[in-house]
Amino acid sequence: MIWGIIVWGDVMNIQYRYVGENVRNARLNKGLTIEQLAELADISDSFLGVAERGTSGFSVETIVKLSKALGVTTDSLLLENQPGQNPSSKSETLATILLGCTDDEADFMIEYVKLCKKTGMFKTVKP
């Protein structure tokens, strides 16, 4: 099943299969079962199981509930892995990378970047 959303004047076709995969990947990265995520998002576990398989879609309200429960952006749930969709900015690329990380991995990367910035590791060296 495919549905369209309008982003900056363009209509994009969002395929439920990919949204379901994104939800499942984010859930597994958090170490949650379907039942645990369903409870956190206040939705039924049977619906979540069907939606993760891509045979049913998500309402906007459900996507928002899931993104809050998973600690990820709604964009990452909707757009990640969609055919023809590529991160358009460096911050989106970083968000996409962090989506696949555990909390400990994300914390480590954040602290590493802060340390690199603090020590000047990212400063351009002029010849």
Q: Which of 60, 63, 71 is nearest to 95 (CA)?
A: 71
Q: Report the run of H or E that residue 4 belongs to, with start and end.
A: strand 2-7
Residues 6+ apart with CB under 8 A from 110: none
The model's pTM: 0.57
Kindly write down the DSSP assignment for every residue of 40-108, as one continuous string.
HHTS-HHHHHHHHTTSS---HHHHHHHHHHHT--HHHHHHTT-TT----SHHHHHHHHHHTS-HHHHHH
| Region of poorest pLDDT, from 16-20, 61-65, 88-92, 109-113 | 88-92
Greater pLDDT, 38 or 78 = 38
**pLDDT, averaged across the chain:** 77
Residue 119 three-state SS: helix
CB-based burial label for 66 (10 Å; 0-12, 13-18, 19+): buried
For 44-101, the pLDDT digits (tens) are 999 999 989 888 888 889 999 999 999 888 888 887 665 555 545 566 667 767 777 7
Greater pLDDT, 17 or 44 = 44
Residue 26 three-state SS: helix
Query: In the predicted model, what is the mean pLDDT of residues 32-36?
Result: 95
Domain-wise residue ranges, the chain: 2-86
Topology, domain 2-86: 434 Repressor (Amino-terminal Domain) (1.10.260)
Residue 109 has phi, psi (to 5 degrees) of: -65, -40
